Structure 1
Amino acid sequence: MKIQQLRALVAIASSGSINAAAKVLHVTQPAVTKAMQELEADFGVRLLERNPRGVVPTAEGEVLLRRAQTVVRELERAQEEMAQIKGAREGTLVIGITPIAGTAGMTEAFIAFRRHWPLVNVEFRELGFNQLNEQLRNRTLDLAFGAFSKPPTIDAGSVSELVAFETTFVTRAGSAYADARTLEALQSAEWIHTDVTDAYLAYVEAMYRGADLAPPQRITRCTSFALFYALTFNTDAVCNWTRHSLESTAQGRTLIALNLPVEPPPLHLYLLSPPAAQLTRPAEYFVHCITQTTRP
């Protein structure tokens, strides 16, 4: 098994064809085909198959692909770090964020990071927790930042809290519920949330039962964050929002904090990272920048 064979597998899986993989790797199509044939011969199984979407990994290929992605990305990191030690200030930094985490000092941290690492290619990926966890595990992410109500558990690496944000229930300005002062006044409202688990649903139901009220009949889960924002700003829905975002973002200033007798629990910003020994120098510096910007 050779590194160029693993590179070929990763390139085919991401591009969907051998021809496209050859262009990405700057080699000929027969060279990619030969690399895959040799890899399949080494393991004695088929690693690729064709379907209507193109060339995709088989079940066995998926298993090897997860390992190959880690190996290829780690080798790239090693090459980048050696170049940085020699004086080059280039490289790649891939950061995963949950949507609300993007409002929590990320802009200020990026500006500070850019002053020190002006040539590093930075990619921010807005992802849900399961995607963050998967991409941290296979090392396609260098770091991740997530906003959660309690510490998440990841498969590999560490989780550390950076800062906590007070949250409140909101609706858009001009909403039929903008003047609501009681939970009873919001029983007929559309409550929307992005929680992929049933925790938010259970929380709202428990909150209403604690007030001796029947829970709202319309509690809508929306895991598309683009649609969640569209619903928040274009309907009379009720949802959770951080007070930090209400005060510091243009979108937040179009919402109204509801004056209710209860408040939702705080939201915490967590850093999700691989073991410290595996952090690249740009990743270490970005952690330094976000730590500085979120320090109370």
Structure 2
Amino acid sequence: MFANLQALRRLVAIADCGTVHAAAEMLSLTQPALSRSIRLLEEEWNVQLFERHPRGLRLTPFGERACQHARHLLRECQLAEDDLTALSGGGMGLIRLAGAPVWMSTILPQVIVDMHELYPDLQIQLSSMKFTVALEELDNGGLDIYCGGFQKTEKMPSFLVSQPLFGTRLNVVARKGHPILSRPLARLDPLLDYPWVSYMSDRAYLGMLMDKVQAATGQRKEAVVFCDSMLAALNLLNNGNYLAFLPSTFITLMPGFDLQIISTDIAEVGFDSGIIFRRSLERSLVLDAFQSSIRNRLAEGSFDPLLSTQAD
């Protein structure tokens, strides 16, 4: 099954399009030819890959797993082809890149400029993405490199490599001049008196903070704004009496916001930030240039040391 890349492409196309008709149009094939390819795959494995429903076709559980492997293998083959083409002096191909908000807003735009100075014809597909979604996309071949925060204890599949680059800490954040700054914070009660903003990727961390507040005061505070946009969250903090529990890099690296960290007696929560990439990219020209540019850019900024190094 996996020796026939053409058949795998057809399997993925039907899964993506939802119907044989739409997939056949996308691949410039006749419907009978496409249906025959899938039938041969089903006969080879003696299983059903798709089941019919009112709007078209849906993958069976076996089909889901087969399609996941197919996406992974197709992307690995494409990366290998792109790497060899680049080494032979040809084009650079396409790299699929995603990042967490701080990376997307401050680090990656500069790195992409550096990359295109070296490789003007390199195509980059850039997306903003949460860590959990990025892992799924890395797994199914939809992504090549993810830049963002992750815990050292998180195990990666063997075909992925994680490379921590700097540490970041979560802190209570408010605008300069916020009323809470005039109150003593030896006790945590003042944290209950103001509205909280919960940013998309840090909702679990806000829950951890409120667990500690509740342990100390017997009360907790729920967020009144749940925000999927980093810029919107920072603007809310900048213009109102809101509080948030955010990475320190939001404050040190994002220009144009008059925010500050609020010191409390709560023990610090932190994690490392870096890149996760497909192992097949190791020693490729694209990854070498990407890593070099990131290190140069990080050396120019104010970044905390790796937390995992300190823990060791």
Classify the TM-score, shorter chain.
0.7 to 0.9
* Inter-partner Cα distance in structure 2 for 1:196 and 1:247: 17
SS at match of 1:155: coil
Correspondence for 1:55: 57
* Inter-partner Cα distance in structure 1 for 2:69 and 2:131: 21
Correspondence for 1:206: 212
Q: Give 1:276 shift.
A: 5.9
Could you tell me whether the CA contact under 8 Å between 1:104 and 1:294 is conserved in 2? no
Q: 1:255 to 1:10 in 2, by over 3 A?
A: farther
- The correspondence of residues 34-49 of structure 1 with structure 2, limited to 5 A, is 34-49=36-51
Q: Kindly provide the CA deviation profile for residues 132-167 of structure 1, in whole angstroms up to 9, marking residues without a partner as x.
A: 222222333211112246553323322221012355
Q: Give 1:293 shift.
A: 1.5
Could you tell me whether the CA contact under 8 Å between 2:176 and 2:260 is conserved in 1? no
SS at match of 1:153: coil
Could you tell me whether the CA contact under 8 Å between 2:95 and 2:144 is conserved in 1? yes
Correspondence for 2:125: 123
Correspondence for 2:245: 240
Q: Give 1:71 shift.
A: 1.5
Correspondence for 1:65: 67
Correspondence for 1:184: 189
Pair 1:18-2:20 in alignment:
yes
Correspondence for 2:259: 256
Could you tell me whether the CA contact under 8 Å between 1:189 and 1:218 is conserved in 2? no
Pair 1:8-2:10 in alignment:
yes
Q: 1:128 to 1:203 in 2, by over 3 A?
A: same
* Inter-partner Cα distance in structure 1 for 2:54 and 2:233: 34
Q: Kindly provide the CA deviation profile for residues 179-230 of structure 1, in whole angstroms up to 9, marking residues without a partner as x.
A: 6653322213333244578554234322563xx42343314795x623x654
Q: 1:255 to 1:271 in 2, by over 3 A?
A: same
Could you tell me whether the CA contact under 8 Å between 1:173 and 1:256 is conserved in 2? yes
Correspondence for 2:296: 292
Pair 1:217-2:221 in alignment:
yes
One of 83, 86, 97 as aligned partner of 1:84: 86
- The correspondence of residues 140-219 of structure 1 with structure 2, limited to 5 A, is 140-148=142-150, 152-156=154-158, 157-171=160-174, 182=185, 183-191=188-196, 192-194=198-200, 198=204, 200-206=206-212, 209=215, 212-219=216-223
Q: Give 1:242 shift.
A: 3.9
* Inter-partner Cα distance in structure 2 for 1:163 and 1:116: 25
Q: Which runs of 5 or more structure 1 residues have no equivalent in the other structure?
A: none
* Inter-partner Cα distance in structure 1 for 2:258 and 2:153: 28
Q: Give the partner amino acid of 1:89.
A: G
- How many residues get paired? 290
Q: Which runs of 5 or more structure 2 residues have no equivalent in the other structure?
A: 304-312
Correspondence for 2:308: none
Q: Give 1:262 shift.
A: 4.2
Could you tell me whether the CA contact under 8 Å between 1:10 and 1:69 is conserved in 2? yes
SS at match of 1:46: coil
Mean CA deviation greater in 32-41 or 169-178 = 169-178
The CA RMSD measured in Å over matched residues stands at 3.1
SS at match of 1:269: strand
